[in-house]
Structure 1
Amino acid sequence: MRIDDEPDALPGRRDECVRLDDLLAQASSGRSAVLVLRGETGVGKTALLDYAVRRAAGFTLARATGVESEFELAYAVVQQLCAPFLDRAAGLPEPQREALGAALGSRGGEPPDRFLVGLAVLGLLAEVAETGPVLCVVDDAQWVDTASAQTLAFVARRLAAERVALVLAVRDADDTAAAESDPARDVYDGLPTLPLHGLADADAEALLDSVTAGPLDDRVRARIVAEARGNPLALLELPRDLDAAELAFGSGPRDRAALPGRIERGFARRLDGLPADTRWLLLIAAADPSGDVALLWRAAGRAGIPADASGPAEEAGLLELGAQARFRHPLMRSAVFRAATDAERRAAHRALAEAIVGEADADYRAWHRAGAAASLDEEVAAELEASAARARARGGWAAACSFLTRSMELTPDPERRARRALDAADARLQAGAPDAARAMLALATGGPLDDRVRARAQLLGARLAFASTRGREAPALLLSAAKRFEPLDPATARDTYLDAFTAALFAGRLADGGAALDDVAAAISAARLGDAEAQGAACALLLDGFAAVVRDGYAAGVPLLRRALDALRADPLGDEDALRWLWPASRAARAVGDDVSWSELTARHVDLARRTGALAMLPIALTERFTVELFLGDLSAALAVAAEADAVAAVTGRGLSPHIAFLRAAWGGREAEARALLDASRADVASRGEGLWLAGTELTTAVFLNAFGRYEEAIAVAERAEAHPYELGLSTWVHPELVEAAARLDRPDRGADALARLTEIAEASGTDWALGVLARCRALLAADDEAEGLYRESVERLERTRIRVALARTRLVYGEWLRRQGRRVDAREQLRAAHAFFREVGMEGFAERARRELAATGETARARSVDTVNDLTEQEALIARLAADGRSNPEIGAQLFLSPRTVEWHLGKVFTKLGVTTRRELRATAAGPRGRGLGVL
């Protein structure tokens, strides 16, 4: 049957109806589908949503609507969508269940991470879809609260095999009213979109004739069709502006105002003929964004409005009182509200506030009391402040901004007003609105503040700078804030000194003035940051170690850092402190050559960020862990980390870390790709002042150049990096690159300073990793009668570590030295081991060096094999690895932001490609030679 013959089909919307039918069919067949309907006001988005609902026989329906209002109750639309299914939340993993409960206000605790909430909603929908397909429709999605909009976008991007159809209706961005009302419009960008345009003239005329009872003058018909531009709502509403004579004879004024405004004024004119009680009831309904019918009637009762007042509005098609109070169109709501006087609007809010009972709706009551306030009112301001605290506990930072801003506006006391403005600025920063935060901060600092609050303001300004630039001026600002907190709050001062040091580390050579690390180190040394509590003492010791390294050199600072690392491993930090301190501690471990601490602390950091859903910190933790896995020589694990970083990037909207992408390209010997990544990132990094990124790329580039025997270039890059010796964890390991390049060019003088600096670090550290690499560097520059003993020492020490890359590089240069000594048999033993390792981990440059050296000894090295494992995508390889490690589908889904059903779908493809049928066979494949990579660089 043709779609035009279907009784549900919409005139003039054949293609759009077919698209929706296809979407429903896809969800029914087992694959999820998402569609965003975009178009101007009145173009028919709601009608198409209704069409989809009518066609969704056999589907479970979840429906929600955004409401235009300044009030933004966090997760209000998520509540609408999930309420019918919350009895199934018990089956969600605990972190997701707790996050969803916190978001919906059913439990207390820390603010939930928005991605954990998104994953919980995804899991809930997937659970419902186990018994049949699900259709979720959200109308006026441009007016959905920010927290819910972010959740909807997350779910839309992660749907795959759940049998869920999600359809959102969004007003076009060029609609001024919508643009001003939509704080998170871009969250829907990139989703499958169906733009809606006006009806063709023939369809427009047919629709117009269908709603016109009497004769219609041809000139009037042509005028209405032309002015409506095919907009169905305009075709239905514009004739209402004309009386019978105008319709018949074509007379009357010609209003050239914008179409949405004309429609809204038309709605407003329709109010004139309604009884006063009906208009008053409509105003109360317009003032309440919740659509709660029971609340509406309680408020109406308090205002003395009779029960039959709704009749005329319902008969006129302006208001529908069903499960919710719904206006015929959002413009009807705004028309009612704008047609009222200020006094009338305040009275409507007052009636609603008085009608709200119970603490569950305290936030709605506070907002309506604020709407009813005619002047400054501390009691209402305090209620709004309490509502902001509850919004923060639900992760609703945007809602907290609204509450705090209105609270500040109603506060009569100047000092309290300034403090609330500061709280609002902080909330705006947390909500991801730094420009608005700066404006509110300026308002706060213009008022009277005590020392502690002014210190908070200074710290917030510094963090705003760091959030926007990652470097440059942020270190000095954070340093100043830390000093200010010393006499007021030592714990906050210590944390802020760490922020200052981290900012200076990020800025590196690009910091304003170029001496950020020196200034921070001097301030830390002068401060008294010790803490009787053991964990605080370990953190203070770590800071002291950083300061000593910068001020007095590695010999002075490394022992302090080693003690701090030992303390942090022996007595782990609480979650909040660990999220702040584990990254710099990991950098310190790499800098001093403590491979045990480096591996343990980075693993702990990743696990903590995953467990707590700290998505802002997880990419940083994953980047450091990726480097660990490469140094350990576990390509499979490194690829798994990179794939997880990709998954995080997909849900956060941030691209894969340029360091990870660059390191992968350089590691695999893909110079063109590596250089393209460098060029693409350099300008952005320089503008933000991230000198640390430059240091990382210089180290990686020096390694790459040494791998391919381009020693002159390697020396130049390494010397550039060496000029900045305190870029922790990077400068330490650039010294061996400079030494190797200098030795190969027979220029020991150019490697002497690097060897001296490495000696200072390694001897202070005393670890086998540091001393093993030092022995290799000494061997490279030593006379032949001393070299072999040093090479053997290097091998012996590095065999006691987990840093397999360093061991393989020692075997390579040792083998090269043995071949030059004419000891081919001995050389082959070292070169075979080096070649096998480099081939296994995809270090193509070093593998080729080892292969050439083996060939020079008379032995032919085997080429790298390719097998079916390489057919897996990176996501499939990661899922296969996690499944082989014993993770369940829900556990894998939680880590990769997928539903268990989608994980199962991917595993089905993995089984097919690998020719296995069970997880036991998958584990056997992963453990064997074919499974070592479970993916390729």
Structure 2
Amino acid sequence: MHTSPALVGRLDETRRIEALTAAARDGRGGALVVRGEAGIGKTALLDHAVRAAPSFRVVDAFGSEFEQELPYSGLHQLCVPLLEHLDDLPPRHRDALRVAFGMAEGTPGEFEVGLGVLGLMSAAARSQPLLCRVDDAQWLDGASAKVLRFLARRLATDPVALLFAVRIGERADEFDELPEVLLRGLTDDQARTLLAERSPFPLDDQVRDRLVAEAQGSPLALLELPRAGGFEPPDNSSVPAWIEHGFRARLTGLSGHARLLLILASADPTGDPGLLWSAAHHLGLDLTSTSAEAAGTGLAAFGHRVSFCHPLARSAVYRAAGDAERRTAHRALADATDPGTAPDRQAWHRAQACAGPDDEVAAQLDRCAARAQSRGGVAAAAAFLERSVALSLDPELRIERTLAAAQASFDAGATDKAIALLTTLDNAGLSELQRAQAELLRGRTAFARHRDGAGPMLMVSAARRLSTLDPQRARGWFLDALEMSLVVGRAGGVVGQVVAAARASAPASASPDLLDALLALVTDGYRAAAPLLRRAIDDDTTRARRPALATMVAVELWDPDTHAAITEWLVKTGRATGSPLLLRLGLAQKAVEAIVLTGDPGQALAATAEEAAVADATDAAPLLYHRLHLAAQRGRRDEFLQLAAAIAAEPDQAGWVTNLHATAATLHNGLADYPAALAAARRAVEPGGIFLIGPALPELVEAAVRCDEPAVAAEALATLAERTEASGTATGRGIAAYARGLVTGNENDYREAVDLLADGRLTPYLGRAHLLYGEWLRRQGRRRDCRVQLHTAYDLLETAGQDGFARRAADELRATGERVHSRSEHPYEKLTMQEVAVARLVGAGATSNEVAGQLFVSKRTVDAHLRSIFRKLGLTSRRQLRDHPELIGATRGNAYA
């Protein structure tokens, strides 16, 4: 390992950095966050990394508190030196980066930008390991921070080391989960050693001890205070404030031109000397003498890049400037910035140069917000719009921009900021439409913060206000309120309140739509609502605008074909448009469909792995409900309980309470814990719910029969029969038939169930029909007949991953005297979830690059997964995966579709 000069008091920290670079040199990339107060030595450690890795190519970026509004500005700094590898990327990723960096028009998918950067760095690191340093990362723009967090978690197989310096006390949530080293102050002895080695002036013992006391362990303070001539700081000053004071002291005695040049440099975080010299020319500065005088302070260097000696030095110079000086600097930088290539940066400088309202600049910021929004910079759009509000003279424009800024802030997750903007609106000056829009936003922010009934009811109020102005749009808002109330759940009867309000106030529709269907389901019952529900989900508009509701309606209609069609549309549209929301919803539904309907646990695991990858790529929490189904169907009680606890603790998952109870009933029936199944199924069908009641009914019938609750079983069967008859699908009628057999004990019901479900697509339900039939036959003493049914049940359920129900079938067979041989471990059980996904995609013919793009990892990572898969499964080539898809579960269709 290369060794470099030791930093005083930083032995453990430098070892961590040297271990990071050594691992990256060996192809095991990673990331490390260096966290500490300003001046504590973070930048020195980033410099040490360069000395510790002399064979590495180094690229740098610097966060700036003055530039957080510009989307991808920090990422652009890091990637500019690597753009020579842009043509090595797949076209979609290359185009995403070009758009993100303002080199082309368009709307990049946020995870495509992440993959583009990952590919760019991977390509650059092929010939030489790469060290990426990001100083003051707490001030990165939000879009850059998300991409770099995405990148930091995907470097395990690339020779890339990523180092972040993050200041304590500043918001930097994006880096909280990454490995970190926390810098603390130097001890007094270490501080004396540092002064002895590095002080620019000779110090006697008394002065040295005073400096040690004043610096409070800050290395930068120790070195800067003597340079500033020493001072007696106020008792309430922080060490960074002392350091900034020392940097400001270097400005004393400078000519006005040199001072202005330094202020210009501090106001432009790009460090572009061409821009700085052009701005200085606009101000009439003598560049030769002025730059030499400014550089003589040691605060900044003017070379191929303009750089300050420390981030606090930049901050000190900018803060030392008066308001008029800062405005002058920003105005000159705006004049020097090319509006064609950097319109957002020019607008930002113009906004900072304004002493008061300016409608022209406000309009320019509006255009910046639109561009930021199209490039995925929602937080940046909110910041542009908020500044636009402050600069707006026209009262009507100010209202429109305030509403737009509040909406953008809400979309960016800044609900407190959205609420603060809404409170600035004077209702007396709002039109009725604007009042409705403001009330709608208040409802959404209230729901986001509290997950209670206040949000949906505010939405209802907004919809009522809109109903006379825009009836069709108002119906959409009523549907929003109803959908939101489903997430709130049954608590407080919110669903009922929203339904009552919608029935009383929603404008009539030209023809029945989804809102009418849901209102009928709640108030008139399933039989009356079924035709309306069918019409609603057959409408492509409903599927496109309300995909979550459409999939739930398909489940309630016992219609697996429509569910599959909606799922396929969600996945394909999500991929084509780059919409993470649609793609994640589609993948979750694909997982549910695979494990609950078609019995393909390999596909369920692969879809779950991909959903988790998309969630991670977009900085979102993975969805839980499909994992709940997977655990329940596979009979994994402990896993299920952990997921249930996570759902109970997470407000965003509160609306899945019915899903939780319905899947719990399935789990417990599979494990033959019928009292627990009965309790869960009863909770799933309690009044007040709308969806996922249907699937819970057959579970309730079975649990009630096993627990000797005939009245409960009969009532549940009646409700199930009403629903399945109204839906008219063979699936529903088949499930109702085996539930009826449980209650009546009529063999014809079991035979009918097997016949109706025998098309071979719904393996889990068919397996359960054979299981229940076999159990009934055994209890009738028909041993030979029951064995046929139970063997069929065991084969179907075991193949479909229904481990709990398969064990039930095996136990029944053993009770007849049969010997049941334990099946060998399924190949997919030997693999991690991500390895299952890689294996299925490669088995379907995908290349490593295609798999990397789909799972949001590098090609190196895919190849590493393949080596692990081959080792675990005893294979030697990709073709064996293609020729033997049964290794990873049944294949239905193209896994890559």
Structure 1 and Structure 2 fold alike (TM over 0.5)? yes
Q: Secondary structure at the match of 2:114?
A: helix
Match of 1:25 among 9, 22, 29: 22
Q: Report the Cα distance in structure 2 between the residues aligned to 1:520 and 1:752, rounded to whole angstroms.
A: 34
Q: 1:830 to 1:133 in 2, by over 3 A?
A: same
Match of 1:553 among 519, 525, 528: 525
Q: Report the Cα distance in structure 2 between the residues aligned to 1:753 and 1:233, rounded to whole angstroms.
A: 77
Q: How far 1:520 moved relative to its partner?
A: 6.1
Aligned to 2:579: 614
Q: How far 1:143 moved relative to its partner?
A: 1.6
Q: Secondary structure at the match of 2:343?
A: helix
- Count of residues in Structure 1 that have an aligned counterpart in Structure 2: 889
The aligned runs of 1:426-575 (5 Å cut-off) are: 426-444=407-425, 446=427, 448-489=429-470, 492-511=473-492, 513=494, 515-516=496-497, 518-519=499-500, 522=503, 526-530=506-510, 541-568=513-540
Query: 2:595·2:601 contact (CA, 8 Å) conserved in 1?
Result: yes
Q: How far 1:471 moved relative to its partner?
A: 5.0
Aligned to 1:399: 380
Residue 717 of structure 1 aligns with an amino acid whose one-letter code is: A
Query: 2:200·2:227 contact (CA, 8 Å) conserved in 1?
Result: no
Q: 1:451 to 1:291 in 2, by over 3 A?
A: farther
Q: Quick check: 548-557 or 431-440, which moved more?
A: 548-557
Q: Deviations over 1:543-577 (max 9, x none)?
A: 33222222222212212222333343xxxx5xxx8
Q: How far 1:614 moved relative to its partner?
A: 2.8
Q: Report the Cα distance in structure 2 between the residues aligned to 1:451 and 1:721, rounded to whole angstroms.
A: 41
Q: Does 1:265 align with 2:245?
A: yes
Q: Does 1:736 align with 2:698?
A: yes
Residue 751 of structure 1 aligns with an amino acid whose one-letter code is: A
Q: 1:869 to 1:794 in 2, by over 3 A?
A: closer
Q: Secondary structure at the match of 2:490?
A: helix
Q: Please report the RMSD computed on the Cα atoms of aligned residues, expressed in angstroms.
A: 2.7
Q: How far 1:587 moved relative to its partner?
A: 0.9
Q: How far 1:428 moved relative to its partner?
A: 0.9
Q: How far 1:474 moved relative to its partner?
A: 2.8
Q: Report the Cα distance in structure 1 between the residues aligned to 2:562 and 2:325, rounded to whole angstroms.
A: 67
Query: 1:295·1:355 contact (CA, 8 Å) conserved in 2?
Result: yes
Q: 1:593 to 1:215 in 2, by over 3 A?
A: closer
Query: 1:768·1:800 contact (CA, 8 Å) conserved in 2?
Result: no
Aligned to 2:50: 53
Q: Quick check: 867-876 or 222-231, which moved more?
A: 867-876
Query: 1:469·1:689 contact (CA, 8 Å) conserved in 2?
Result: no
Q: Does 1:671 align with 2:637?
A: yes
Query: 2:522·2:690 contact (CA, 8 Å) conserved in 1?
Result: no
Residue 462 of structure 2 aligns with an amino acid whose one-letter code is: A
Q: Does 1:134 align with 2:130?
A: yes
Query: 1:815·1:831 contact (CA, 8 Å) conserved in 2?
Result: yes
Match of 1:857 among 774, 793, 816: 816
Q: How far 1:303 moved relative to its partner?
A: 1.6
Q: Report the Cα distance in structure 2 between the residues aligned to 1:913 and 1:812, rounded to whole angstroms.
A: 33
Q: Does 1:639 align with 2:605?
A: yes
Structure 2: where are the runs of 5+ without partners?
Answer: 893-897
Aligned to 2:895: none
Query: 2:216·2:239 contact (CA, 8 Å) conserved in 1?
Result: no
Query: 2:75·2:144 contact (CA, 8 Å) conserved in 1?
Result: yes
Q: Report the Cα distance in structure 2 between the residues aligned to 1:280 and 1:36, rounded to whole angstroms.
A: 35
Q: How far 1:789 moved relative to its partner?
A: 2.1
The aligned runs of 1:802-821 (5 Å cut-off) are: 802-821=761-780
Q: 1:239 to 1:482 in 2, by over 3 A?
A: same
Q: Report the Cα distance in structure 2 between the residues aligned to 1:335 and 1:213, rounded to whole angstroms.
A: 21
Match of 1:697 among 652, 660, 677: 660
Aligned to 1:285: 265
Residue 176 of structure 2 aligns with an amino acid whose one-letter code is: D
Q: Report the Cα distance in structure 1 between the residues aligned to 2:592 and 2:502, rounded to whole angstroms.
A: 27
Q: Does 1:756 align with 2:718?
A: yes
Match of 1:583 among 548, 559, 580: 548
Query: 1:549·1:726 contact (CA, 8 Å) conserved in 2?
Result: no
Q: 1:284 to 1:467 in 2, by over 3 A?
A: same
Residue 80 of structure 1 aligns with an amino acid whose one-letter code is: Q
Q: Deviations over 1:420-456 (max 9, x none)?
A: 1111111111211111111112213556222333322
Q: Secondary structure at the match of 1:515?
A: helix
Aligned to 1:276: 256
The aligned runs of 1:780-929 (5 Å cut-off) are: 780-782=742-744, 787-800=746-759, 802-866=761-825, 870-928=829-887
Q: Report the Cα distance in structure 2 between the residues aligned to 1:850 and 1:238, rounded to whole angstroms.
A: 80
Q: Report the Cα distance in structure 2 between the residues aligned to 1:695 and 1:675, rounded to whole angstroms.
A: 15
The aligned runs of 1:222-301 (5 Å cut-off) are: 222-242=209-229, 253=232, 255-256=234-235, 257-301=237-281
Q: Report the Cα distance in structure 1 between the residues aligned to 2:820 and 2:284, rounded to whole angstroms.
A: 94
Q: Report the Cα distance in structure 1 between the residues aligned to 2:168 and 2:380, rounded to whole angstroms.
A: 24
Aligned to 2:389: 408
Residue 553 of structure 1 aligns with an amino acid whose one-letter code is: G
Query: 2:490·2:689 contact (CA, 8 Å) conserved in 1?
Result: no
Q: Deviations over 1:698-751 (max 9, x none)?
A: 1122223323334344334323322237432x1012221222233334543322
Q: Report the Cα distance in structure 1 between the residues aligned to 2:141 and 2:748, rounded to whole angstroms.
A: 69
Aligned to 1:67: 64
Q: How far 1:907 moved relative to its partner?
A: 0.7
Q: Report the Cα distance in structure 1 between the residues aligned to 2:201 and 2:410, rounded to whole angstroms.
A: 58
Q: Quick check: 481-490 or 148-157, which moved more?
A: 481-490
Aligned to 1:358: 339
Q: How far 1:612 moved relative to its partner?
A: 3.3
Q: Deviations over 1:86-106 (max 9, x none)?
A: 343344344433332332122
Q: 1:708 to 1:285 in 2, by over 3 A?
A: closer
Q: 1:72 to 1:818 in 2, by over 3 A?
A: same
Query: 1:768·1:797 contact (CA, 8 Å) conserved in 2?
Result: yes
Q: Report the Cα distance in structure 1 between the residues aligned to 2:91 and 2:311, rounded to whole angstroms.
A: 39
Structure 1: where are the runs of 5+ without partners?
Answer: 174-178, 244-251, 531-536
Q: Deviations over 1:229-284 (max 9, x none)?
A: 342211211112337xxxxxxxx746543211111112212211212211121122
Q: 1:930 to 1:614 in 2, by over 3 A?
A: closer
Aligned to 1:249: none
Q: How far 1:902 moved relative to its partner?
A: 0.8
Residue 274 of structure 2 aligns with an amino acid whose one-letter code is: A
Query: 2:68·2:142 contact (CA, 8 Å) conserved in 1?
Result: no
Query: 2:60·2:134 contact (CA, 8 Å) conserved in 1?
Result: yes
Residue 254 of structure 2 aligns with an amino acid whose one-letter code is: L
Q: 1:102 to 1:430 in 2, by over 3 A?
A: farther
Aligned to 1:593: 558
Q: Deviations over 1:802-833 (max 9, x none)?
A: 22221111111111222233322221111111
Q: Secondary structure at the match of 1:323?
A: coil
Residue 685 of structure 2 aligns with an amino acid whose one-letter code is: E
Match of 1:626 among 584, 587, 591: 591
Q: 1:757 to 1:287 in 2, by over 3 A?
A: same
Q: Quick check: 220-229 or 426-435, which moved more?
A: 220-229
Aligned to 1:166: 162
Q: How far 1:891 moved relative to its partner?
A: 1.9
Aligned to 1:714: 677
Query: 1:68·1:289 contact (CA, 8 Å) conserved in 2?
Result: no
Query: 2:385·2:404 contact (CA, 8 Å) conserved in 1?
Result: yes
Q: Secondary structure at the match of 2:250?
A: helix
Aligned to 1:533: none
Q: Does 1:779 align with 2:776?
A: no
Q: Report the Cα distance in structure 2 between the residues aligned to 1:213 and 1:930, rounded to whole angstroms.
A: 70
Aligned to 2:118: 122
Query: 2:495·2:688 contact (CA, 8 Å) conserved in 1?
Result: no
Match of 1:328 among 294, 309, 314: 309
Q: Quick check: 746-755 or 290-299, which moved more?
A: 746-755
Q: 1:131 to 1:489 in 2, by over 3 A?
A: farther
Q: Deviations over 1:278-325 (max 9, x none)?
A: 112112222223322222222222222111211112122111112332
Aligned to 1:248: none
